[in-house]
Amino acid sequence: MELKRVVVTGLGALTPLGNSVPEFWNGLVNGVSGASAITRFDASKFKTRFACEVRNFDPGTFLDRKEARKMDPFSQYGLAAAIEAIDDSKVVTHAGFNPDRVGVIWAAGIGGLRTFWDEALNFAKGDGTPRFNPFFIPKMIIDIASGHISIRYGLRGPNYATVSACASSTHALNDAFMLIRLGKADAMIAGGSESSINEPALGGFNAMHALSERNDDPATASRPFDLNRDGFVIGEGAAAVVLEEYEHAIARGAKIYAEMFGGGMSADAHHITAPHPEGLGALNVMKNALHDAEMQPTDIDYINVHGTSTPLGDISEVKAISSVFGEHAFKLNISSTKSMTGHLLGAAGAIEAVASILAVKNDIVPPTINHFTDDPEFDPRFNFTFNKAQHRKINAALSNTFGFGGHNASVIFGKVK
């Protein structure tokens, strides 16, 4: 069986750096931090009081107010990103559009936590009589976002959700890629969304000592690879990628951003939250992605790393990169865009895939901002693109995401051959 080629024909993004792909990319290239004091709720009693929030978002621009109230913010975010990507791609408006051959795979790590929290609080305040919103369950469940996107456009192809913590939306991209590659769909809308800047999420991550507590300087709190990094900064938002079979895209005259060459998946099988100390799962997932793409390590020019700004995570990932790429590791352009967006949890993979695709298209490596002090754990020969974007020829880019539970996923994008 001949495998199909897969290309990117549409992008969408709703992020702490801006509510569209151009705004997001402009923020990345200019090294803008999306972190600031939390406005969603009173965080004054929490150990961490800042986050990377989406700002100036109005679901009323694309949803009836009544319909918007039936959706958790994570679904609203997802639909917004998908609308931008589908409009960009024009995949549903061309003359040969077949809704049975276009599907959606959408991801979230947590989903409708805001909805669950609100309903639980309302019940606790009552006398024990069950009075729940009839949309409680449909607002909360993770797969509902893919449902909303497919309903909006009448897409009757494969439709489901992927959940693997912070690797969730990279798994969505990998699944969509495989379906098109095997000829089971002409195009797929894949991505992820998250809206978890709320009391239970902040409190839970604080209890794990996972979050930065640099409340005196939120804008510089996310410090991947810096000696004084002290945890990740929680973020929110969404990103969507339209993946399409190459010949299908060419036949309709689609704009093509990049080609998706392959993806990898693996498990640490080590610990529920801590990475393997030698980066074994990360090593395997990158090797698997390279094998799937039929590429050599030297074919990769840029890695958008998971790089969350945690003391152990950053080290284990760089160890894995060293093992996979050998001496070529020092020729790689490496950056963590989480230094600007924060960690979007289940949406991280999708937003970092968009960053990688745009890096390939524009031959620009977005920076790792907030670097102040070198960490002697890292060989100084690594190019972490500290503090300023760099113009580099990027023929192929790899993006990593790793999730609690030991879930690992990578994707590879490059210039169309």
Q: Give catalytic residue positions.
A: 166, 306, 343
CA 18/CA 40 separation, integer angstroms: 17
Q: Under 8 Å CB-to-CB from 389, ≥6 apart: which residues?
A: 28, 29, 30, 31, 364, 365, 366, 367
Please give the C-alpha separations between residue 83 and each of 20, 99, 286, in angstroms, as whole numbers. 11, 16, 31
Please give the C-alpha separations between residue 18 and each of 118, 233, 236, 289, 338, in angstroms, as whole numbers. 27, 17, 12, 30, 14
Place of tokens 């049975």: 100
Give the DSSP letter of residue 61. Answer: G
Beta-strand relationship, 396-403 and 407-414: antiparallel
CB 225 within 8 A of CB 336: yes
CA 258/CA 255 separation, integer angstroms: 9
- Alpha-carbon radius of gyration of the chain: 20
CB 214 within 8 A of CB 128: no
